Chains A and B, each alone.
Chain A
Amino acid sequence: MAKKRHVIVGGGTAGLNAITTIREYDKGESEVVLVAGEWPYSRMVLPYFLGRSISETHVFTATSPRMAELGIQYASGDANTVAPAGEMSPLVSRFIPRRATALDTKNNKLTLDDGSIVDYDDLLIATGSSATRPPVPGADGDNIYNLWTLDDAKGVLSHIKDGMDVAMIGAGFISFTILNGVLSHGVKLHIVEIMPQVLPRMVDKDGATLVEDWLTQRGVNIHTNTAVQSIEDIDGRKKLVMGDGTDIIVDLVIMGTGIRTNLGWLEGSGIDIDQGILVDDHLRSNIPNVYAAGDVAQGAELITGSREVHAIEPTAMEHGRIVGANMASRDIAYRGSLLMNILDIIDLNIASFGNWISDSEDTSVLLVTRDHVYRKLIWDGDRITGAIIMGPSRALWTTNDVGMLKGLIQSRVHLGDWKRYLHENLRDIKKPFVASHITRDMLPIKTLDHPTIPSREVTARN
């Protein structure tokens, strides 16, 4: 009998976690085909590559030996050698360095960009997102980079030099993840944001004001509430013509203006798509043998249960593990993912969880402007549904309380009288946390049906 063939489309966090989890369960018994345009690497660590604190090899999540351990061979190009429709595949598991262009869910066939066809028994769509550029004249010129892929990072690294002026267009989470890396090159940074504040989807106005002040004190120029009208070449430099009448002259432009999920290739596939691919509690699409994970999946959010596209690393990781287990014929339901982000901005630590952007009047706030300290809890009755926590990394309690704050939200604990206590003592998170038996409630929780093991151990035993 032919081995069951799992096809994984996309080699990012979701895809790699799915493959590792399949192998965790089946110990190499199934056929796994990874279709990905490039060698799998971690986008999460690109900022550290950009900042030169790690080498390029550190970025890759699946090297050749690692793939071999997972029972997957690199098929260098000719995907046409994959078994034609209807034939039993003679091939072992493989990594095909191609992009998918079409999906035929009626006949279980995936078309690749060289026209070849891959048959599957079940398939995971984990094609992630791509960076977008604003429709601004000159935005596609020289010395303008996105910072989304490894190639983007290499492009910036080849160009950036000490003493340069660098513009970062877009002050969202993605831009801010690379801020330290960019500044480590000794450049003068100019941040441009069309919204009235930086980090519009990570912190509220009060939080953003602290971040802007922190950055300004450290020599970063911030231009909010203004848009780039055009980018012009001027004496080998770049002139950003701004909507507010000012010009910004720089040597290098980095675009952080947004991402778009890679779903266009699914047109006509019959997969239900809203903001992303709508998935059920096993991360299946409307087609039972087609799963979706990571940025392309619109799955359950932990607190409300409503289906959302998160496009964050932790959700991609959880999605990947759940899908991998279900592809390996386990029956693992997904509780939903908690939206969360963390940033270090020149040693200012910022984390936010859940519905931190909320119109709720029921909040608890601690704001110490001088110290750049900000804590905000969003309440739903006596439960916390969202939070922002910010402060200098060297103020130990900032970083120390981040995890417990996550536990307070993730556990959905009813805090009872502790709500009043927290409202009045927002620095003392530990006491309500410990006294609310969150540890007792959380210790039995497992994402899969067994304790987590390191993926190195998974590969070692295959």
Chain B
Amino acid sequence: MNKVLKIIPEQCTGCMRCEMACSYMQTGVYQPSKSVIRVSPFEKHTSYSPYTCFQCEEAWCLAACPVEAITISAVGAKIVIEDQCVGCKLCTIACPYGTIFYDTDTHKAFKCNLCGGEPACAEACPTAAIQWVEAEVQDWQGEFAAQRGNVHLVGFST
């Protein structure tokens, strides 16, 4: 079984260390805008969840690329080959999860590449909300968000 990034939103404190570690690993700078794992607040900032590429089997981004600039790495990550990417953004409208991005500085697509098999986000997470483990990929955040969404809607918001 492949290793995957397992997300346990209940353990996330919103400290954003994963975003810092990710951007540093990917680009050499601590810059959350370059992070490909993104932490979002839920229920009026009482809880948080990281969110990143599921490395889905359909690989919508890979199939959509007109120049074969996306391939699959040894650890099963769908990765962008930068030299090959022309920056047409087709992958960003093909991915239904919103986990492949366009970098306005490089004019290329970028996404989670699982750091070549040692994901910096999982290593940086102090509460094990992000784990690099053997598992079947699944919808880690859906139930967590659905519960919090309801609370939000029935009257705790203003």
Contact = CB atoms under 8 A, between A and B. Distances in A.
Nearest to A351: B93
7 contacts: A47-B88, A48-B88, A349-B102, A393-B104, A431-B42, A437-B146, A452-B62
Contact of B33 (A344, A349, A396, A407): A396
Contacts of B94: 314, 403, 406
Given A407-B98, A437-B142, A443-B139, A451 B86 contact: no
Given A399-B92, A430-B40, 19 more contacts: A42-B67, A44-B66, A53-B107, A342-B89, A396-B33, A399-B101, A399-B102, A406-B98, A407-B96, A410-B96, A421-B153, A433-B98, A452-B57, A452-B58, A452-B63, A454-B68, A454-B71, A456-B71, A457-B72
* Chief secondary structure at chain A's binding surface: helix
Interface in B99-153: 99-102, 104, 107, 137-143, 145-146, 148-150, 152-153
Contact of A443 (B56, B62, B141): B56
B98 A400 contact: yes
A321 interface: yes
A342 to B, nearest CB: 5
Nearest to A43: B66
B25 interface: no
Contacts of A403: 92-100
A417 B152 CA distance: 11
Contacts of A349: 89, 102
Nearest to B9: A434
A116 to B, nearest CB: 31
B29 interface: no
B49 interface: yes
Contacts of A433: 98
Interface residues of B, number: 53
Contacts of B72: 453-454, 457
A447 B96 CA distance: 14
A44 B64 CA distance: 11
A439 interface: yes
Q: Which of A417, A434, A451 has the most CB of B within 10 A?
A: A434
Interface residues of A, number: 64
A455 B68 contact: yes
A454 B148 contact: no
A451 B90 CA distance: 20
A406 B99 CA distance: 12
A105 interface: no
A258 B70 CA distance: 31
A454 B56 CA distance: 13
A307 to B, nearest CB: 22
Interface in B56-85: 56-59, 62-64, 66-68, 70-72, 84
A89 B150 CA distance: 66
B14 interface: no
